[in-house]
Structure 1
Amino acid sequence: MGRDYFEDIEVGETHTFGERDVTRAEILEFAECYDPQPFHTDESAASDSLFGGLIASGWHTAAMTMELLVTNVFADSAATGALGVDELRWPNPVRPGDVLSVRTKVVDTEPWNEELGLVRRRTTTLAGETEVMSMVGLVLYERRER
């Protein structure tokens, strides 16, 4: 996408990118470290849960989404960091074997101060055609014109 500064980003701009495989091993590893609930760490217990099988933690889904965002949006941009996210949702679980992709849409931009601008970007994570996560990121970008 190029080295985007605040002034380069337009409301309505959309991008779709990424293909990231989700493995059973990484679901278990992440959950053991950060979210050790039985439906994330124990296949037998997960089978008896309302999910009917092993699923990734929502926080793991967020981390995988962030990996795709950094690689495809932020790595070659003037993004300086985020203030947070709004409207974080996990409408459907991520399962071993899923392949994740991300769709983004810029919903708002506003000057933050003389050096930075704030970009609100809706991010939707998909497993195939199924939405598995959505959020609105609040990211600060350097301003070219200071």
Structure 2
Amino acid sequence: MKYLEDMNVGDHAAFGSYAVTREAVIDFASQYDPQPFHLDDEAAAKTYFGRLSASGWHTCAMTMRMIVDNLTANRHAGLGSPGVDQLRWLKPVYPGDTLRVETVVTEVRPSRTRQDMGSVHSDLTVFNQNDEPVMTMKSVGLVRRRPA
């Protein structure tokens, strides 16, 4: 198990491979972000995107899946997250793209009020298959401390 004490400022991780499909883009948009450029090829062609694109919130959801898969595979003692800061969508994500994630730890802090946990702050970047950044955010994860 990887605990708070095992994490250090500067730690880098690269993980994930998420194939974006047309069906998933339309399905997510139909449920959560039904704007025309996420649902219809002709409407999307007339916009800045130029073609059907994934919702930014869908990009967040795909990223979350890669994060959870990585945490599970590497046995992190994660306890969830109080949120993210500075979320930015830098480039459109299109059907046919393949996404991956890179993170760098920027702060590791034991809790002042809960001796059994702390927080890990990271800069996270999502890249497409051309190594172009498509999304960035500053994330905060809550992590268990090593049991005594």
Taking structure 1 as the reference length, what is the TM-score of the superposition? 0.95
For 1:48, the equivalent position in structure 2 comes to: 46
1:81 — aligned with what?
80
Distance 1:48 1:137 in 2: 34
Counterpart Cα distance in 1 of 2:138 and 2:72: 15
Which residue in 1 is equivalent to 2:104?
Answer: 105
Distance 1:44 1:130 in 2: 26
Residue 8 of structure 2 is matched in structure 1 by 10
Q: Distance in 2 between matches of 1:19 and 1:79?
A: 21
CA distance in 1 between partners of 2:95 and 2:121 (Å)? 31
List aligned pairs for 1:1-146, cutoff 5 A: 3-74=1-72, 76-112=75-111, 113-128=114-129, 129-145=131-147
Percent identity, please. Answer: 45
Q: For residues 98-142 of structure 1, give each alpha carbon's deviation from its aligned partner in whole angstroms, at most 9, with x where no partner exists.
A: 000100110111111311111001111000211111111111001
Bigger drift between 106-115 and 85-94 goes to 106-115
- Equivalent-residue separation in structure 1 for 2:80 and 2:66 (angstroms): 15
Instruction: Determine the C-alpha separation between the residues in 1 that align with 2:63 and 2:30.
Output: 19
CA–CA distance in structure 1, aligned partners of residues 61 and 28 of structure 2: 10
User: Which ranges of structure 2 fall in alignment gaps of 5 or more residues?
Assistant: none
**Is the partner of 1:82 in helix, strand or coil?**
coil
For 1:116, the aligned partner's letter is M
TM-score normalised by the chain length of structure 2: 0.94
The amino acid across from 1:87 in the alignment is Q
CA distance in 1, matches of 2:134, 2:146: 35
Tell me the C-alpha RMSD between the 2 structures: 1.1
2:80 is paired with a residue whose SS is strand
- Looking at structure 2, the residues matched to 90 and 17 of structure 1 have their Cα atoms a distance apart, in angstroms, of 19
SS state at 2:92 partner:
coil
Q: How many residue pairs end up in the alignment?
A: 144
Quick check: which one's strand share is greater? 1
